[in-house]
Amino acid sequence: MPIVEIDNITKKFGDVQVLNGISLSVERGQVIAIIGRSGSGKSTMLRCINGLEMINSGSIKVAGHTLTANGSGLIELRKDVGMVFQSYNLFPHLTVEENVMLSPRIVKKVPTEKARETAIKVLTQVGLDHRRDAYPEQLSGGQQQRVAIARSLAMEPQVMLFDEVTSALDPELTQEVLVVMEELARAGMTMLLVTHEMEFARNMADITVFMHEGKIWEAAPSEAFFASPQTPEARQFIGAGKSSRAG
């Protein structure tokens, strides 16, 4: 059974149709890169998978949980689905370790010492165990984003969602975050990521999904997609990306 099944979902904001009949199936351990122009519905789709936005119709099944238009099943679903955002959303008054411990303690009722053990493990995983007593303001943007990833990992999710997590970072800091994501992918984490990092999508994603006008316009194994996009819109988007990198 796929670990993520999105069946014909729609989403409107007022009179604006943002998602229009999206269907997608993701197998356990797959990495799915979601690309497309701003306003194509990429981040909205990701937020619907985590129940941050309620769909208007259709259904979403993630890790055995079903989300429908009435929003039922949200609490249980979020125990199994981690999400990392462009903004780090760390609590400034808490140390790195305390930020990572918070959700397991509150949501899963994990005892403090067990939560601390998990925090140390996941901070080691993202290369930041040595900064666990630091506060967010003492960290670089790349380090804060890695803490945000560790915070999601501490919940032991079955699926992780990444929404433009490197778009606010300079190239050097972007690379340190991408290295962590590559390691997660190699370890078998199921990941869906909205990204502008075309090389990462090409090299690490099993499937690349190109969204356009609120629809999945094209989806294919990444190597095939980047070698030969099948639609004019995808070809233009990929070509624009190459031109901007060349410049």
Q: What angle do CA 23, 153, 80 make, to 5 degrees?
A: 45
pLDDT for the residue 209: 97
Beta bridge partners of 36: 211
Cα→Cα distances 54→24, 39, 49, Å: 17, 18, 9
DSSP states along 120-145: HHHHHHTT-GGGTTS-GGGS-HHHHH
185 CA to centre of own chain:
12
Secondary structure tally for the chain: helices H, strands E:
9, 10
Instruction: Check: CB of residue 35 under 8 Å from CB of residue 42.
Output: yes
Is 90 exceeded by the pLDDT of residue 76?
no
Any residues with CB less than 8 A from the CB of 10 and at least 6 apart, and which? 17, 19, 20, 21, 22, 55, 56, 57, 58
| 181-190 residue pLDDT tens | 999 999 999 9
Kindly indicate the confidence band of residue 240, based on its pLDDT and cuts at 50, 70 and 90: low
| 148-199 residue pLDDT tens | 999 999 999 999 999 999 888 888 888 889 999 999 999 999 999 999 999 9
Cα→Cα distances 172→93, 155, 163, 177, Å: 27, 28, 19, 9
Is 50 exceeded by the pLDDT of residue 135?
yes
Phi, psi dihedral angles at 79 (to 5 degrees): -75, -25
| 107-116 residue pLDDT tens | 889 999 999 9
pLDDT for the residue 202: 92
Instruction: Check: CB of residue 106 under 8 Å from CB of residue 91.
Output: no
Is 80 exceeded by the pLDDT of residue 211?
yes
Is 80 exceeded by the pLDDT of residue 143?
yes
pLDDT for the residue 71: 65
Kindly indicate the confidence band of residue 242, based on its pLDDT and cuts at 50, 70 and 90: low
pLDDT for the residue 246: 37
pLDDT for the residue 173: 87
Q: Please say whether the structural domain 4-246 has been given the CATH code 3.50.90.10.
A: no
For the four alpha carbons of 231, 233, 237 and 242, in that order, the dihedral sign comes to positive
Q: What are the sequence ranges of the domains in the chain? A: 4-246
- Across residues 44-65, what is the average pLDDT? 91
pLDDT for the residue 155: 92
Phi, psi dihedral angles at 125 (to 5 degrees): -60, -35
